[in-house]
Structure 1
Amino acid sequence: MRSPRRSKFRHHALSAALLSALAVPTVNAQVAETDSATELDRVTVTGQIAYRDRSEATAPTLSYGLDYFQRFEPLTVGDMLKRVPSVGFVSDVLEYDGARLRGLDPGYTQILINGRKVPGAGGDRSFYVDRIPAELVERIEIIRSPSANRSGDAVAGALNIVLRDAYEFDGGYLRAGALHFDDGKIKPVFGAVGSGEVGGGRLLGGVNVQGRHNPKRKRSDRFDSPDGDFVDREDQSDVRDGTDYSGNLSYTRDIGTGRLSLDGFYVHTDRTETENSREYNDPASRDRARLLSLNEQKVDIKQDNASLNARYVFDMAGGRSEIDLGYARFEDRRHDTEQEVGYDDEDSPPSFDGFEGTRILGDTRDSEFSLKLAHSRALGAAKVEFGIDGLDKRRTSALRTSEVEADDEGEPLPPYADFARQASRIEERRLDPYLMFSGKRGRVDWETGLRYETTRSKIRSIAEEGEDALRNEKDYGLLLPSAHLRFNLTEHDRLSASIARTVRRPDFNQLLPMTLEEEYGDNDFLGNPELRPETAWGLDLGYEHRLGQRGVVGLNLFYRKVRDLIEIVGTGRPSATALDDHEDAIEEFLDEHPGAGPGAPGYPVLDPDSFVFTAANVGDGRVYGAEFDLSTPLTALGLADTGVFLNYSWLDSEVDDDFGQRRFNNQPRSVLNVGFIQDLPTLGMSFGASYRRQGDAYSRVLGEEVTTHYGADLEAFVEKRFGSRVAVRLTGSNLLNASKDENFNKFNTLGEQLDRQFDEYEREREKAGPVYQLVVRYAF
Structure 2
Amino acid sequence: MKRNVLAAAMSRALVCALIAPMSLAAAFNTAVAAEAPADASPDPKQLDSVVVQADIAYRNRTDSVAPVLSYDLEYFQRFEPLTVGDMLKRVPSVAFVSDVLEYDGAQLRGLDPGYTQILINGKKVPGAGNDRSFFVDRIPAELVERIEIIRSTSANRSGDAVAGALNIVLRDAYEFDGKYVRLGALRFDDGEVKPTYGAVASGEVGGGRLLGGFNVQGRYNPKVKRSDRFEEPGGDFVDREDQDDTRDGDDYSANLSYTRDIGTGRLSVDGFYVRTDRTETEHSVEYNDPTSTDRDNLLSINDQVEKIRQDNWSLGVEYAFDMAGGRTEFDIDYARFDDDTRSTEEESGFDDEDMPPSFDEREGTRTLTDTRDSEGSFKLSHKRGVGGATMEFGVNYLDKRRDTTLQVSEVDTDEEGAALPPYDEFDRNDSRIDETRVDPYLMFSGTAGALAWEAGLRYETTDVDVAFDDEAASNDYNTLLPSAHLKWDFTGADRLLFSVGRTVRRPNFDQILPLTLEEEFGDNDFTGNPTLDPERAWGVDFGYERRLGARGVFGVNVFYRDVKDLIEIVNTGEPSSTAIGDYEDEVEDFLDENPGATPTTPGYPQFDPDSFVYTARNVGDGSVYGIEFDLSTPLTALGLPDTGLFVNYSWLDSDVKDDFGERRFNNQAKYVYNVGFIQDLPEWGMSFGASYRRQGDAFSRMLAEEVSTHYGGDLEVFIEKRFGDDLSLRLTGSNLLDAHKDEVFHKFDNAADQFDRDYDEFELETESSGRVYQLIMRYSF
Q: Indicate the TM-score class for this superposition, using the shorter chain for normalisation.
A: over 0.9
Stretch deviating more after TM superposition (38-47 or 548-557): 38-47
Counterpart contact for 2:521–2:703, Cα < 8 Å: yes
> CA contact under 8 A between 1:219 and 1:234: conserved in structure 2?
yes
Q: Is the 8 A contact 1:41 1:67 kept in 2?
A: no
The aligned counterpart of 2:531 is: 530
| 1:37 shift after superposition | 6.0
Deviations 1:387-411 (A, max 9, x none): 0000000000111111111012112
Which letter maps to 2:413?
A
Partner of 2:685: 684
**Residues 537-595 of structure 1 deviation map (CA, whole Å, 9 limit, x = unaligned):** 00000000000000000000000000000011101111111111111111111212222
Partner of 1:77: 84
Specify the alignment match of 2:744 in structure 1: 743
Match of 1:21 in 2: none
Partner of 2:184: 177
SS state of the match for residue 375, structure 2? strand
2:85 counterpart SS class: helix
CA positional deviation for 1:289: 1.2
Quick one: distance in 2 between partners of 1:599 and 1:87? 62
Cα distance, 1:475 vs. partner?
1.2
Matching of residue 375 in structure 1 with residue 375 in structure 2: no
- In structure 1, C-alpha distance between the alignment counterparts of 2:679 and 2:427, rounded to whole Å: 59
1:144 aligned residue (138, 151, 167): 151
Is the CA contact 1:47–1:685 (under 8 Å) kept in the aligned structure 2?
A: no
Aligned pairs for 1:549-568 within 5 A = 549-568=550-569
Distance 1:44 1:776 in 2: 9
Q: Tell me how far apart the structure 1 counterparts of residues 254 and 627 of structure 2 sit (CA, whole Å).
A: 38
CA contact (8 A) 2:110 2:669 kept: yes
C-alpha separation in 2, matches of 1:209 and 1:675: 28
Q: Among 66, 77, 87, which residue is 2:73 paired with? A: 66
In structure 2, how many angstroms separate the alpha carbons of the residues matched to 1:540 and 1:40? Answer: 36
The residue aligned with 2:485 is: 484
The answer for the alignment partner of 1:128 in structure 2 is 135
Aligned residue for 1:411, secondary structure, equals coil
1:732 partner SS: strand
Query: Matches of residues 287-686 of structure 1 in structure 2 within 5 Å?
Result: 287-462=294-469, 469-686=470-687
Which amino acid is 2:343 matched to?
A: D
Deviation, 1:345, is: 1.3
Distance (whole Å) between structure 1 residues aligned to residue 290 and residue 370 of structure 2? 40
Write the deviation string for residues 573-631 of structure 1: whole angstroms up to 9, x where unpaired.
11111111111111111212222222222222211111111111112100000000000
Separation in 1, partners of 2:50, 2:745: 48
Once residues 213 and 601 of structure 1 are traced to their aligned partners in structure 2, the CA distance between those partners, rounded to angstroms, is 64
Aligned match of 1:264: 271
Q: In the alignment, which of 102, 107, 119 is matched to residue 95 of structure 1?
A: 102
Check the 8 A contact 1:121/1:332 in 2, yes or no: yes
Question: 2 CA distance for matches of 1:55 and 1:671?
Answer: 24
Give the secondary structure class of the aligned counterpart of 2:620. Answer: coil
The change in CA–CA distance for 1:43 and 1:97 in structure 2 (over 3 A counts) is closer
Deviation at 1:267, TM superposition (A): 0.4
Alpha-carbon deviations, 1:166-202, whole Å to 9, x = none? 0001001100000000111110100100001000000
Aligned-partner Cα distance in 2 for 1:265–1:504: 27
> Is the partner of 2:728 in helix, strand or coil?
strand
Query: In 2, are the aligned partners of 1:44 and 1:67 still within 8 Å (CA)?
Result: no
Q: Distance in 2 between matches of 1:311 and 1:295?
A: 52
Corresponding residue for residue 120 of structure 2: 113
- Whole-angstrom CA distance in 2 between matches of 1:47 and 1:317: 45
Matched-pair contact (CA < 8 Å) for 2:51–2:779:
no
The SS at the match of 1:620 is strand
Partner of 1:727: 728
Match of 1:5 in 2: none
1:40-71 deviations in Å (ceiling 9; x for gaps): 54155143100000011100000000000000
Is 1:217 aligned to 2:224, yes or no? Answer: yes
Aligned mates of 1:244, 1:487 — CA distance in 2: 44
Q: TM-score, normalised by structure 1?
A: 0.94
Instruction: Give per-residue Cα distances to partners, 1:429-482, cap 9 Å, x unaligned.
Output: 0000000000001110000000000101101112xxxxxx11111111100000
SS at match of 1:578: helix
1-side partners of 2:342 and 2:356: how far apart?
35
Do 2:51 and 2:726's aligned partners in 1 also have CA atoms closer than 8 Å? no
Q: 5+ unaligned residues in a row in structure 2: which ranges?
A: 1-41
- Aligned residue identity for 1:474: N
Structure 1 residues without counterparts, runs of 5 or longer: 1-34, 463-468
For residues 612-671 of structure 1, what are the alpha-carbon distances to aligned partners after superposition, in whole Å with 9 as ceiling and x for unaligned?
111111121000000000000001111010001000000000000000000000000000
Match of 2:194 in 1: 187
CA contact (8 A) 2:47 2:178 kept: no
SS of 2:586's partner is helix
Moved over 4 A (4+): none
Does the residue aligned with 2:152 lie in a helix, a strand or coil?
coil
Between 1:488-497 and 1:415-424, the stretch displaced more is 415-424
CA 1:341–1:310 in 2, change beyond 3 Å: closer, same or farther? same
Counterpart contact for 2:693–2:714, Cα < 8 Å: yes
* Deviates further, 40-49 or 201-210: 40-49
CA contact (8 A) 2:48 2:725 kept: no
Q: Aligned AA for 2:335?
A: A
Tell me how far apart the structure 1 counterparts of residues 507 and 433 of structure 2 sit (CA, whole Å): 12
Distance 1:38 1:382 in 2: 32
**CA contact under 8 A between 2:558 and 2:628: conserved in structure 1?**
yes
State the alpha-carbon separation in 2 of the partners of residues 265 and 476 from structure 1. 32
Distance 1:371 1:284 in 2: 61
How far, CA to CA, are the matches of 1:268 and 1:674 in structure 2?
Answer: 33
Q: Contact 1:40/1:67 (CA < 8 Å) preserved in 2?
A: no
Cα deviations by residue, 1:342-390 (Å, 9 ceiling, x for unpaired): 1101111111111001111101110000000000000111000000000
CA distance in 1, matches of 2:247, 2:428: 27
2:30 aligned residue: none
Letter in 1 for 2:485: H
Identity %: 70
Q: Does the 8 Å CA contact 1:46/1:725 hold for their aligned counterparts?
A: no
Give SS of 2:520's match: strand
TM-score normalised by length of structure 2: 0.94
Q: What do the CA deviations read for 1:505-545 (whole angstroms, capped 9, x no partner)?
A: 00000001100001001111101001110000000000000
Cα distance between partner residues in 2 of 1:591 and 1:286:
43
Aligned match of 1:712: 713
Residue pair 1:704, 1:744 contacting (<8 A) in 2 also = yes
Report SS of the residue matched to 1:582.
Answer: helix
Could you say which residue in structure 2 is the equivalent of 1:208?
215
CA–CA distance in structure 2, aligned partners of residues 472 and 610 of structure 1: 27
- In 2, distance between residues paired with 1:345 and 1:616? 44
Q: Tell me if structure 2 keeps the 8 A contact 1:78–1:129.
A: yes
SS in 1 for 2:637: helix
Partner amino acid for 2:707? V
1:642–1:354 Cα change, 3 Å: same
Which stretch shows the higher mean deviation, 763-772 or 585-594?
Answer: 585-594
Asked if the contact 2:48/2:178 (under 8 Å) is kept, the reply is no
Q: How many residues align?
A: 740
Measured in 1, the distance between the counterparts of 2:645 and 2:503 equals 34
Distance 1:36 1:767, change over 3 A: farther
Distance 1:36 1:708, change over 3 A: farther
Structure-2 change in CA distance of 1:555 and 1:37 (3 Å): farther
Tell me which amino acid in the other structure corresponds to 1:188. Answer: P
